[in-house]
Amino acid sequence: MKALIETIVTSLVDHPEDVVIKETEEATKIVYHLSVHPEDVGKVIGKNGRIAKAIRTVVYAAKTNSNKRVYLDIM
């Protein structure tokens, strides 16, 4: 899942070397924390959050068959 997020986000940003994804797993959920270069935050979020919503939709659709929920936080 981290590879999928990284592939999507690195194609959007100007500083792909600054893309960092951290995974936190809890009993009922898996949270991916995405941080990018400060200049690229707007490119990842998009107008009215459209790009962020699209990235989240792809990640949620690609989740494994486990019973845990998947969340994506953009920092």
- Summarize pLDDT for 15-69 with one digit per residue, the tens: 999 999 999 999 899 999 999 999 999 999 999 999 999 999 999 888 877 788 8
**Strand 29-35 and strand 69-74: pairing?**
parallel
DSSP 23-65: EEE-SSEEEEEEE--GGGHHHHH-GGGHHHHHHHHHHHHT--S
Order of strands across the sheet with 20-25?
A: 20-25, 29-35, 69-74
Determine the pLDDT at residue 68: 86
* Whole-angstrom distance, CA of residue 29 vs CA of residue 32: 10
How do the domains of the chain map onto residue ranges?
A: 2-74
Tell me the pTM.
0.87
Per CATH, which fold does 2-74 belong to? GMP Synthetase; Chain A, domain 3 (3.30.300)
